[in-house]
Structures are given as structure tokens and as C-alpha cells.
């Protein structure tokens, strides 16, 4: 067993490797870590690169994959890539779920029953407040898409990102996700992290390496400490959480991350609930 595999088994390293499939997005959310928007450069990992990283991750002892962006489903090839990834390791893919018209939903049908979870962003139980942060019409598209995806046999989770949420809003949000068919176990609430566009809007909690789970994250620009690491501020990539510019072989950044983790004091990530 490799040192990385032992670290995953012991819980020293989280088991999931993250892949930034692309940086462009159809939305421009106020708290976006990567300043993603329709005008953002794509900065894509190719499907071949993603599958090769997944294969290496499994060989090293990692146990799961995450795919994020940008909005991954702007890529026409993403459903096919996800199926290939899921043949290697279980996958969770993050999405705003606003692009799933009928023709795109048809392309998602093969994902039913695969080892793929779709994590959808929904921040508030009210359209006006939700859409202030995520864009006009976001709420309506999301609450329409979720039951359709579930009916197709796709495992859906909801992620709520909030700087502060009143208890009444939290209760109503939970009532909403249950009506949509999402269990409490598949709903996570996490804070806004003060990186990327959130800085411009004076939002979020400060978070550095001691506060973040060390989830190896692969991008077109290098390997990072966490999916919260490769953030963009005023068009410039943040490098404070860069592990290595080298991403392949995956053993290189994985070993470098493990050395960093073994040398750090215990972090506060469970307190911040950054997941």
C-alpha cells in the first residue's frame, strides 16, 4: 500500500480528488470563488486528462472524484466524461442546474444508476433572495430541474452557500428540499468563503490551509490544496494554496500534499463546515 493510500485509510488525507473541468459559467454569482461568468476563459481539462487522473487516483488509493467549475455542464461532452469517470471511482459533480432543457436532459439519461451524484446549488427558500446572489430566474429553473433529475434516476444533492441564514429561512429551505425529493442527508449548508468575487462584495469567512480539508484539486493551472484553492481575484489566479504546478503523474502533487498535511497543526475545517 502506498503512503498516499495509507493516509487515505487513516483519514490523514481525504479520499476525494477534485477536477476543475472548466472555469466559464452561464452565471456570475456574487460569491463565486473563481469569478466565473460567460466571459471567463474556459481553461478546461480535456476528457482524456480527467479520465487519466481518475485512473491514477484509484491506483494511488483515493476513493472518489469531484468535478467542479465554472459550470461543468456547459461542456457538451460532460455526460460522457462523467460515465467514464464513474467506471473508475464514484463521482460527485457540482452544477447550478439551470441548463437542463429537454434536449440536455436526454443526454443525462445514461447517468441514471451510475455512481454519480449531482450536487445542485440552492441558497434560499425564496426566489427574490436566492436570485439576488445567483441571477434572475435561477430559483425557478433549479426547483423545476431537481424533481426531473430525480425522476430520471439521478442521485441529487443540494448545497446551500450562505453568509448567514436565519433559522426560519433554514426551516423553510429544508421543507422545500424535502418537497423536491431531497433527504436531509443530501442537503449541506456551508459558509461563503472570502475568496474570489466574494471579496468584492465584502462577503464570507477568511479561510486558509489550516481551515480547509486537504482535498487534492487538479486544474489546468496546477494542483491545489482544496477546491477552494484555485480562486481568481480581479482576473488573477491566487497561488497561496498551490501545491505544485505539476499535475502528472498524480503521485507528484499527491505526495507533496501529504507532506504539507503531515507538517501542519490540526485545522478548524470541521468548525467552519467547509465541505
In this prediction, residue 23 carries a pLDDT of 97
| Domain ranges within the chain, ordered by starting residue | 3-272
In this prediction, residue 270 carries a pLDDT of 46
Sign of the alpha-carbon torsion through 171, 176, 182, 183 = positive
> To the nearest 10°, the Cα dihedral for 29, 30, 34, 37?
40
C-alpha distances in Å from residue 18, one per residue of 32, 53, 73, 84, 266: 17, 10, 16, 15, 22
Q: What are the b/e assignments for 173-212, b being 16+ CB within 10 Å?
A: bbebbeebebeeebbebebbbbbbbbbebebbeebebebb
Q: Per-residue confidence at 268, pLDDT binned at 50, 70, 90?
A: very low
Note the pLDDT tens digit of each residue in 13-38: 999 999 999 999 999 999 999 999 99
Note the pLDDT tens digit of each residue in 163-191: 889 999 999 999 999 999 999 999 999 99
DSSP state of 46: P
* 2 or 267, higher pLDDT: 2
CB within 8 A of 2, min separation 6: which ones?
A: 60, 61, 251
Question: What does the pLDDT average to over 256-273?
Answer: 70
For residue 219, the cross-strand partners are 222
Note the pLDDT tens digit of each residue in 220-263: 999 999 999 999 999 999 999 999 999 999 999 999 999 999 97
CATH of domain 3-272: 3.20.20.70
Note the pLDDT tens digit of each residue in 184-211: 999 999 999 999 999 999 999 999 999 9
In this prediction, residue 273 carries a pLDDT of 53
Note the pLDDT tens digit of each residue in 135-152: 999 999 999 999 999 999
- Global pTM reads 0.94
Amino acid at each position: 500500500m502506498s503512503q498516499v493510500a495509507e493516509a487515505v485509510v487513516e483519514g490523514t488525507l481525504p479520499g476525494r480528488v477534485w477536477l476543475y473541468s472548466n472555469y466559464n459559467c452561464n452565471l456570475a454569482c456574487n460569491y463565486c470563488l473563481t469569478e466565473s461568468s460567460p466571459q471567463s476563459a474556459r481553461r478546461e481539462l480535456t476528457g482524456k486528462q480527467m479520465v487519466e487522473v481518475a485512473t491514477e487516483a484509484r491506483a494511488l488509493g483515493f476513493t472518489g472524484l469531484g468535478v467542479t467549475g465554472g459550470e461543468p455542464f456547459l461542456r457538451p461532452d460532460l455526460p460522457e466524461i462523467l460515465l467514464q469517470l464513474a467506471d473508475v471511482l464514484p463521482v460527485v459533480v457540482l452544477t447550478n442546474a439551470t441548463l437542463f432543457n429537454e434536449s440536455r436532459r436526454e443526454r443525462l439519461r445514461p447517468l441514471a444508476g451510475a455512481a454519480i451524484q449531482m450536487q445542485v446549488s440552492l441558497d434560499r427558500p425564496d426566489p427574490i433572495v436566492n436570485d439576488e446572489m445567483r441571477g434572475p430566474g435561477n430559483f425557478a429553473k433549479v426547483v423545476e430541474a431537481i424533481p426531473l433529475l430525480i425522476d430520471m434516476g439521478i442521485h441529487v444533492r443540494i448545497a446551500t452557500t450562505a453568509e448567514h441564514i436565519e433559522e426560519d429561512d433554514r426551516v423553510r429551505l429544508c421543507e422545500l428540499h424535502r418537497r423536491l425529493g431531497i433527504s436531509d442527508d443530501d442537503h449541506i449548508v456551508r459558509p461563503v468563503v472570502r475568496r474570489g468575487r466574494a471579496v468584492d462584495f465584502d462577503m464570507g469567512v477568511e479561510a486558509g490551509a489550516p481551515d480547509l480539508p486537504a482535498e487534492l484539486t487538479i486544474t489546468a493551472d496546477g494542483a491545489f490544496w482544496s477546491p477552494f484553492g484555485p480562486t481568481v481575484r480581479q482576473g488573477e489566479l491566487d497561488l497561496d494554496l498551490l501545491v505544485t504546478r505539476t499535475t502528472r503523474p498524480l503521485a507528484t502533487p499527491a505526495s507533496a500534499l501529504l507532506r504539507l498535511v503531515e507538517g501542519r497543526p490540526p485545522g478548524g475545517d470541521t468548525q467552519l463546515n467547509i465541505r
